[in-house]
Structure 1
Amino acid sequence: MKLSLALHRPALAYSMTTLGAGMMNSIFNFYYVKLFLNRYKISEGAFHQAQVVFMIWNAINDPLFGYIQDNSKTGFCSIRRHSILYGAPFYALAFLLPWFPWKDYTEGEWLSGVHLLIALCVFDGLLTFVLLAQCALFAEISTRHESRLQLIKYNQIASLLGSSSILFCGLVSDNMENFPSFQTFTVFVAVLSTACMCYTGVFGISQYEQQEKLVESSGKSETSLSWAAVLSLTKQILTQKNFLLFVSMNFFQVFHSTFCSNFMIIFADNLIPKDALPSFVRSIMYGAGFMFPQLLVLSSHSLLSSIGYYKVILYAFYVEAISAVLMLLTGPQHFYILAAFLITNM
């Protein structure tokens, strides 16, 4: 009993960043495409150009910020919780960038393309800075297996709660049809998310941080790996067959999930008539699309322990492929079946 009480606070502190980031990321990824295409009337060329630049920046900023956080001597970079604490307000401000137009855009105006480019790059940069620190904090907050299981459990619950922001945002703003209400809700989410992540920044103290203070007081320092050792380890990892297979699988899975989350509302608007599914039902459908995967993860622990992760992933791909073929044969005229397919396909 004492153990569970001792684990409660660090697990809660860690998962609060997941909650805050989940609320913002879900709304951002789900609505920004529809916003710029349908409301700001961005040109197709500007949209594609912004996506290409964003793709390059997204590939660069992960190792860049990882290197900075691992090698910086300043506290707000080298201490994980400080990176979250000081990065959270800027992360929230970056989240708000797309939802407030810089002017009344005309169709195809170049400024809307610049707006999209800056919004994507700034948001992804701050997201990377904060969540990289959180990922490192997971490894550093405790080395005990039981503690990490608690972290995972709290993190999954926080992820589920964070993904519910799509449901509430849709209900409040009529799926962005009521744009002032949508803007108000995004400001509320930004403030709430900042508070959640700041909680991690204050209370998410890692064991490594405590040990570092002891090392500094004793005057000892750890020796860092040489570049030759780093390159040798990198080469060993990159030549592993399992690593290459996993990265390939992960690429297509992330591509699929990102594509679905960004364009699901576009697909639904074009494939399902508004009179077939009222706005209230659509809001529930969109929310379920983000919450269903989290519920599936939370409820599949016994299955994972009995047959293993590999078979679960393999069978999930089989189900996904079969359901896609069945949906193609069924046709888009069965709207409720199509809605169920969109939900499960997320």
Structure 2
Amino acid sequence: MENNNVSLTGLSEGRIIPKKEKICFGFGILANVIITGIVGLYLTDYYINKIQIRYELFIIAQVIFLFWNALNDIFFAYIADRTKHRLGRRIPYIRYGAPLFAASFIFFWFPLPGSAPGDLNSGQTLKFIQLLIGLLFYDTMLTIVILSLVALPPEMSESTTERTSIGIYTLIFTLIGGITILVVPIIMSLGLEIFRISILILAAIATLAYLILSYGVKERFELHEKEFSEKYNILTEIKIAFKNKSFISFLIFNFCVVFTLNLSANFTPFYTTIFGLEEAWATVVLVSFYTGYV
């Protein structure tokens, strides 16, 4: 049986992941790139230049969002690791969370009635409420779905060789998702109504991709049968983590990488405004940025 095949020795020992499962995992990466890429690249520009929310309200919403973002990862990881479900402890959150994640993505781009999009002097309260609710809803679902996604490879096989081999599929589907993102400025230049229709289509594609992953990838229950000790509550585990020097080193490195990427991504669309270019030219800027990122 293919599922019982075992690679050589040492860290390479473990189940050989079928190619079909690796491709299904890649579909999850595709969905991830589509949703997070569009939000990361276009949300700031959209709310500042298209919806015209006041800067101070935008900043307040972002600050509240940052505090929520810092807290929910810890709590969800604690809950997910202790989940007992017939599908595993990662797949259920991806399968049932995907439609809600897509809904949170859609919520950003369709103005609330009475919010007067494009008018800097009207509807500011509704614009702020929509942005804040959208950020909290989106980040909650992002944590639930994507944290489960990135934690999935160790549940698929013990073999570090097999986990590493998933990387080529991750790269391929990341590039495919990136191509989708790069055409968004061209779509936006055709009008906001067409852009919003494209958002609905992309949300449906992302949901389908997550579902393909959830039905095509199998967790190995024997890899997480060991019960967690009840004496380790969430506060104890946080203390233990921050005593780990390797964890602290990675935390600093990851902060610098994420901060740089997000700062670059969020403000890339503004180059078209600063230099007086047409929106379609943002694709050229994005291709340059995306090439460097890859």
CA contact 1:32–1:262 (8 Å) conserved in 2? yes
Separation in 1, partners of 2:243, 2:134: 37
Superposed CA deviations along residues 255-279 of structure 1, whole A, max 9, x for unmatched, are: 121111111111x0343232xxx55
By percentage of residues, which structure has more helix?
Answer: 1
- Structure 1 residue 23 corresponds to structure 2 residue 34: yes
**Aligned counterpart, 2:53:** 42
What is the CA-CA distance between 1:123 and the residue it aligns to? 0.8
Point out which structure has higher relative CO (alpha carbons under 8 A, 6+ apart): 2
Superposed CA deviations along residues 85-133 of structure 1, whole A, max 9, x for unmatched, are: 1111111111111110012344251110111101111111111100111
Match of 2:82 among 67, 71, 94: 71
- % identity of equivalent residues: 24
What is the CA-CA distance between 1:234 and the residue it aligns to? 5.2
Gaps of 5+ in 1: 216-220, 295-346
What is the CA-CA distance between 1:165 and the residue it aligns to? 2.0
**Aligned counterpart, 1:100:** 110
**Aligned counterpart, 2:12:** none
CA contact 1:80–1:136 (8 Å) conserved in 2? yes
What is the CA-CA distance between 1:139 and the residue it aligns to? 0.8
Aligned residue for 1:227, secondary structure, equals coil
Match of 1:149 among 145, 164, 173: 164
- Structure 1 residue 90 corresponds to structure 2 residue 100: yes
What is the CA-CA distance between 1:166 and the residue it aligns to? 1.9
- Which 10-residue stretch deviates more, 257-266 or 162-171? 162-171
Q: 1:24 to 1:239 in 2, by over 3 A?
A: same
Gaps of 5+ in 2: 8-15
- Structure 1 residue 7 corresponds to structure 2 residue 21: no
Structural mapping, 1:239-258, within 5 Å: 239-258=243-262
Structure 2 letter corresponding to 1:259: L
Structure 2 letter corresponding to 1:271: I
Separation in 1, partners of 2:235, 2:135: 32
- Structure 1 residue 119 corresponds to structure 2 residue 123: no
What is the CA-CA distance between 1:242 and the residue it aligns to? 4.1
Separation in 2, partners of 1:34, 1:53: 19
Give me the CA root mean square deviation. Answer: 2.7
Q: 1:173 to 1:48 in 2, by over 3 A?
A: closer
Structure 1 letter corresponding to 2:34: M
Separation in 1, partners of 2:269, 2:164: 35
CA contact 1:83–1:201 (8 Å) conserved in 2? no
- Which 10-residue stretch deviates more, 4-13 or 127-136? 4-13
How high is the TM-score relative to the length of structure 1? 0.72
Q: 1:280 to 1:153 in 2, by over 3 A?
A: same
**Aligned counterpart, 1:187:** 200
Structure 1 letter corresponding to 2:48: L
CA contact 1:164–1:290 (8 Å) conserved in 2? no
Separation in 1, partners of 2:259, 2:28: 24
Aligned residue for 1:79, secondary structure, equals coil
What is the CA-CA distance between 1:232 and the residue it aligns to? 6.9
Query: How many residue pairs align between the two structures?
Result: 277
Structural mapping, 1:279-294, within 5 Å: 279-294=279-294
CA contact 1:83–1:133 (8 Å) conserved in 2? yes
What is the CA-CA distance between 1:41 and the residue it aligns to? 1.4
**Aligned counterpart, 1:306:** none
- Structure 1 residue 132 corresponds to structure 2 residue 135: no
**Aligned counterpart, 1:260:** 264
CA contact 2:269–2:282 (8 Å) conserved in 1? no
What is the CA-CA distance between 1:19 and the residue it aligns to? 0.4
Aligned residue for 2:151, secondary structure, equals helix
Separation in 2, partners of 1:159, 1:200: 15
Separation in 1, partners of 2:142, 2:264: 20
Structure 2 letter corresponding to 1:131: I
Separation in 1, partners of 2:76, 2:227: 22
How high is the TM-score relative to the length of structure 2? 0.84
Superposed CA deviations along residues 294-337 of structure 1, whole A, max 9, x for unmatched, are: 2xxxxxxxxxxxxxxxxxxxxxxxxxxxxxxxxxxxxxxxxxxx
Separation in 1, partners of 2:274, 2:233: 54
Match of 2:210 among 194, 197, 204: 197
